[in-house]
Amino acid sequence: MQTKEALQEDSKLIERNDIRNVAIIAHVDHGKTTLVDGLLKQSHIFRDNQQVGELIMDSNDQERERGITILAKNTAVNYRGIKINIIDTPGHADFGGEVERVLNMADGCILLIDAVEGPMPQTRFVLQKALELNLQPIVVVNKIDRRDARIDQVLEWTQDLFLELATRDEHLNFPVLYAIGRDGVAMYHPDDERHNLEPLFETIINTVPAPKVDTEAPLQMLIAALDYDDYKGKYAIGRIVRGRMTANTPVAQISREGEVSRQKVSLVFTHKGLQRVEVPEALAGDIVAITGISSANIGETIADLEVPEALPTIAISEPTLKMTFGVNSSPFAGREGKFSTSRQLRARLYRELETNVSLRVEDGNTPDEFVVSGRGELHLSVLIEAMRREGYEFQVSRPEVITREDENGHLLEPIEHLVIDTKDTFIGVLTETLAARKAQLMNMTNDGLGNMRLEYSIPTRGLIGFRNAFLTLTKGNGAMSSRLLGFEPWLGKIGTTRMGALIASEQGVAVTYGLSNAQQRGDTFIEPGTPVYEGMIVGLNSRPMDMVVNVCKEKQKTNIRSSTSDIAVRLTPPVLLSLEQSLDFINNDELVEVTPQNIRLRKRYLTQKERARARELE
């Protein structure tokens, strides 16, 4: 098994100066996708009259709606006759698995850092992964036009981060550029004239090393990503490490376990802009997509049939959260979804494993349940939303942390590094809330303008449900992000309690009069005309205990008519919970029912008698 270093020592290596492979890495919202938009537009891959728009690479509906990159994607541009393969990666920590597997395809990386926020937890994570793979870094300080930009301070923090993470001297020798990604401009110095992204193109060509490869050696390629379309079938995407890939040629597929099977490559594609271009042959150093291998999986090697040598598989960090997906068992089951059986649910979840490398799926305690583990709440909620849009109907439990045991049998739980940027007026309520969630303050900085940065170590359990509380406590004036630090001894019970739920007492349709009575006891989640069933959660009680309410109750008619009796009851607008808010809201004895049309909250046991029996058995 040959490593990258061993290959570079080979005397037959040639330098491919016609190509550069670079990944763009950053924390979420620091402007990666916007910068890629600029690179694509300025490399003239679009027609002059072509309507392009924004967020060109974020083609997925959820990516556009949430404003984040979820899936890593490849594109390629030409600059002065040199092909630059660009890999756009996600910035959110929950999608770190996407970053880990695609960095293998690059020789260099552009580290994007916001001129206000500076290095954030995910910046550290992605830079650490890049330096472990010995990628040549280029630092770009982005958004320097922001009113509160602090360029010198951010650059100092970045240099400190490199000093901490660098494993070789050359890692500390990196060029720094300044950019406004939205305007499509980059400069060698913040005060330079702002024209275009040419300084960035030039820096990529001069800094990122050209691939040194042996094109005559036996073929080797590691599969780093998969794609699918109805016409060509499954695409296996990766970088050719050595040799050449030719269409209509038999190859060896080597699984993660080392099993070798004979396959045939049908078509070979390289990237040009956003299109895949069919080529008869591709050489080592190229990033290609190949068809014909329907059983291809991420982390497997495609090799020469005569010399089937495997490459090291991609090591992916373990998941930290799990939740149970089950067949919908509510009285409304089967009304709104196309796929609702356990067979269909199981097939879809196991199919997700082919492309979602940091996900884990296991069969649950019953044939109708499946335990799905992921990197965080967002990672799992994106999967739930994708399945819902595809027509699946199911129910999910509250997220739980995945624990471990050390060699002495002590229970360990995941601990995260939490960074909060907010105004100093909210420090009191945040400190109180986080203390109840077992968070420990590691660092606090004040920029002198009323902006605070707080750094905590906090158990992953303490972060479940905190995002919504954070937005409420800071009135939207704050940003938070976290990354996994490791596993530490269990910190004991976390004292976060929610008020009780308002539970529908019977099946029917919610009416104004019934909801008016419910609103005297707390906040409601539904509007008049909403179908409900017994055991469905329709609101939040203002007291700690659960309360059963009849939201279908209509006002009794009398023979006495009054001039004011027909005036409509005025209701307070309901609190409409999103999918993430619903997952944060529920307790262990509650579930979220997910269908293509609705998201409902419900008790695990629907009738009062069943809930009373379950309490007795606890």
Q: How far apart are CA 609 and CA 606, in angstroms?
A: 9
Q: Does 34 carry a binding-site annotation?
A: yes
Amino acid at 27: H
Q: Is 189 labelled as part of a ligand binding site?
A: no
Closest CA to 179 of 139, 143, 138: 143
Chain center to CA of 337:
25
- Is residue 33 annotated as involved in ligand binding? yes
Can you read off the two tokens belonging to residue 171?
């890692």
Other Cβ atoms within 10 Å of 82 Cβ, number: 16
**Is position 529 annotated in a ligand binding site?**
no
β-partners of residue 186 are: 179
Q: Is 12 annotated as a binding residue?
A: no
Pairing status of strand 249-254 against strand 244-246? unpaired
Task: State whether residue 31 is helix, strand or coil.
Answer: coil
Structure token pair of residue 453: 């940065």
Confirm or deny that 31 is annotated as ligand binding: yes
CA distances from residue 194 to 118, 143, 145, 199 in whole angstroms, order as listed: 22, 13, 11, 10
Q: Which amino acid is residue 606, in one-letter code?
A: L
To the question of whether residue 233 is assigned a binding role by annotation, the answer is no
**Dihedral sign (CA 503, 505, 508, 509):** negative
State which amino acid sits at residue 270. T
Tokens 């079938």 correspond to what residue? 233
Structure tokens, 91: 């910035």
Q: Which two tokens stand for residue 172?
A: 């500390």
Tell me: is residue 87 an annotated ligand-binding position: no
CB-based contacts of 527: which residues, under 8 Å, 6+ apart?
510, 515, 574
Any binding-site annotation on 207? Answer: no
What tokens does 387 get?
């399945």
The number of C-alpha atoms within 13 Å of 398 and in the hemisphere containing its C-beta is: 16
Q: Which of the 8 DSSP states describes residue 435?
A: H
Instruction: Say if residues 238 and 219 touch (Cβ distance below 8 Å).
Output: no
φ, ψ of residue 119 in degrees (nearest 5):
-65, 130
Q: How many CB atoms lie within 10 A of CB 157?
A: 15
Q: Does residue 138 contact residue 177 with C-beta atoms inside 8 Å? A: yes
| 206 assigned to a ligand binding site | no
Task: Give the pairing type, strands 19-26 and 108-114.
Answer: parallel
Q: How far apart are CA 184 and CA 202, in angstroms?
A: 15
**Binding residue positions:** 29-34, 142-145
Task: Show binding-site residues for GTP.
Answer: 29-34, 142-145
